[in-house]
Structures are given as structure tokens and as C-alpha cells.
């Protein structure tokens, strides 16, 4: 029991410091760049996935790894010590992912708009509630994206993007800079033959196109503005397919859930993932022997 206390006193403070320090640092950095200075052009995938999945390894390897040298094992010492590093990194990753996703939704304010055209004269917002609008379904754009993923690229992700210009219900006047976007996603095995993959893709696309024929565009609680992201790039491709003139387009996606529920359980997971990860780490310490640091 005395050795376990020594392990905790020597390792836990460093683990706590790098965990909370990493999460808080990137929250403050994003708040400064995006909401303070308004200078960040970093895509959301970087904040949500890129930074959380790669940056935690830096403090883990620099500050935590030397601390783990006090742990000794009967066998597979390198592998078992690496398990501690992995557990710590995964804890920081999860907390960073959820905190960034929560920051994205929690800081988005809902703007009340009477007409679609009023959006252009207002400061940019993330969420809009528009009293009156319609969609010009005769001018529909389309883009698709196929991506391999998985440890061995065993999965194939298929994403389809549809866009239509939004118009004011009263004036029936097209607003060429504001578009309504609908995104569909599907995953299939990447081990299929080229012919099977093509059939799966065409079947998925046909289902989506059929759904778009009767799509309820106005049955929404509010609309969400698509910000700098991979999704925004694909929507821009869809707009170009309509031969629309080049421009700085505003793309809005439908949201049927209540605005108040936009963050879901993200904050709970952001806070709760840390004690869960720490508990696993502390439990793993039971199986390790302790040697006095030299």
C-alpha cells in the first residue's frame, strides 16, 4: 500500500496537470482566435479531430513518459508501460474532443430573422430561425465524396450533398448567396468489388434523390450555418454544379431538434471522461511495481 501511495504521488500530479492543462489550453486558444480576435480560419475538423487526436501525445511523451520510469513489471515491460501512455493520451483525447464540440455548439447564438434576405445585412451567426422562406427546388446542385477509413481502410464512407437556393416567400425573389444544404451519409465495406461498390453507391444515391423529391424543407426548428469545414467545401462544389457565379455563399442546414438541445451530453462527456480515464489509469497502477527514482 505504501508503494502504491508513492506511485500516485510521483505520477498523478503530472497526469492531472497535462490533462487539464491540454484541455483548457485549446479551449482558451480557440476562444481567443475565433471569438476574441476573429482571425482563425482553421476548419472545424481540425478543432474536433486533428488537434484532439495528435496534440495530446506531445505532453504525454514529454512530461508523463519520464515519470513512468519508476514502474517496473515482471514481463513485457515496454508494452505495459506503453499502455499507461495510451490510457493517458486517450483520456486527454476524449476530453478535448468533447470540450471542442461543446464549445462549437454552446457558443452559437440563435438569431431571429423575418426574411431570408435579412441574413446578409446581419453579423454572421451560427443558428437562425427564419419566419418566412421557401426553397427553389428547380435549381438543385449535387456533390459527392467517397473516403476510405479504418485501421486497414476496411470501410468506405459515402457522403452526398444537395443544395437549393433559398427564396423569400413574399417576394419570390431568389437570393443567390444563400443556399439550403442537405447532407446524407452511408458506410459500406471497402472489401467489395468495384462493380458491387458502384451498385451500392447508385442504390444509395437513388434513395437520397427520391427522398429529396418530397423533402420537407420548412419543417424545421431552426437552421445552422455551415462554417469553414470539409462539409462547406463539398457544398461549394454542389453550388458550382448549378453553374452559379462564383461568390461567398451562405449555406444553411436544417435542424429539427430544439435549439436548447443543441449541445446534447457533450459537456457531461467532456467533464466525465477525465475521472473515468484517471480511474482506469489508477487501477492499472496496482499491477506495477515501484522503484525509487534515481
Residue 294 has pLDDT above 70, yes or no: no
Query: Quick one: cell of 9?
Result: 504521488
Across the chain, mean pLDDT equals 91
Q: Residue 41 phi/psi, 5° resolution?
A: -115, 20
CB 55 within 8 A of CB 30: no
Domain ranges of the chain: 2-107+265-290, 134-217+222-257
The model carries a pTM of: 0.85
Q: Residue 133 phi/psi, 5° resolution?
A: -165, 160
Paired with 144 in beta bridges are 160
pLDDT tens sequence across 11-62: 999 999 999 999 999 999 999 988 776 666 788 889 999 999 999 999 999 9
Please tell me the distance from the alpha carbon of residue 126 to that of residue 198, in angstroms, as a whole number.
36
Residue 196 has pLDDT above 90, yes or no: yes
Confidence at 191, pLDDT banded by 50, 70, 90:
very high
CB 201 within 8 A of CB 209: no
Segment holding 189, helix H or strand E: strand 174-189
pLDDT tens sequence across 139-156: 899 999 999 988 788 999
pLDDT tens sequence across 93-125: 999 999 999 999 999 999 999 988 889 888 889
Amino acid at each position: 500500500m505504501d508503494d502504491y501511495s508513492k506511485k500516485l504521488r510521483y505520477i498523478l500530479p503530472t497526469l492531472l496537470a497535462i490533462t487539464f492543462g491540454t484541455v483548457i489550453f485549446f479551449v482558451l486558444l480557440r476562444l481567443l482566435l475565433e471569438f476574441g480576435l476573429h482571425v482563425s480560419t482553421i476548419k472545424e475538423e481540425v478543432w474536433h479531430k486533428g488537434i484532439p487526436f495528435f496534440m495530446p501525445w506531445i505532453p504525454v511523451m514529454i512530461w508523463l513518459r519520464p515519470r513512468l520510469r519508476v514502474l517496473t513489471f515482471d514481463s513485457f515491460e515496454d508494452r505495459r508501460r506503453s499502455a499507461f501512455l495510451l490510457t493517458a493520451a486517450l483520456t486527454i483525447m476524449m476530453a478535448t474532443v468533447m470540450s471542442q464540440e461543446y464549445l462549437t455548439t454552446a457558443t452559437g447564438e440563435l438569431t431571429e430573422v423575418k426574411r431570408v434576405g435579412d441574413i446578409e445585412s446581419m453579423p454572421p451567426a451560427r443558428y437562425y430561425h427564419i419566419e418566412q422562406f421557401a426553397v427553389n427546388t428547380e435549381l438543385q446542385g449535387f456533390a459527392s465524396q467517397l473516403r476510405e477509413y479504418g485501421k486497414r481502410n476496411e470501410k468506405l464512407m459515402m457522403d452526398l450533398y444537395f443544395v437549393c437556393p433559398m427564396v423569400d416567400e413574399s417576394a419570390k425573389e431568389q437570393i443567390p448567396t444563400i443556399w439550403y444544404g442537405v447532407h446524407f451519409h452511408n458506410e459500406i465495406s471497402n472489401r467489395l468489388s468495384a462493380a458491387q461498390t458502384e451498385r451500392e453507391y447508385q442504390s444509395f444515391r437513388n434513395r437520397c434523390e427520391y427522398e429529396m423529391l418530397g423533402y420537407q424543407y420548412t419543417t424545421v426548428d431552426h437552421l445552422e450555418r455551415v462554417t469553414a469545414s470539409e462539409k462547406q467545401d463539398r457544398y461549394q462544389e454542389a453550388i458550382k454544379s448549378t453553374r452559379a457565379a462564383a461568390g461567398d455563399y451562405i449555406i444553411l442546414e436544417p435542424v429539427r431538434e430544439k435549439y436548447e438541445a443543441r449541445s446534447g451530453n457533450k459537456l457531461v462527456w467532456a467533464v466525465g471522461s477525465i475521472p473515468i480515464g484517471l480511474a482506469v489509469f489508477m487501477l492499472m497502477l496496482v499491477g506495477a511495481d515501484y522503484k525509487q527514482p534515481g
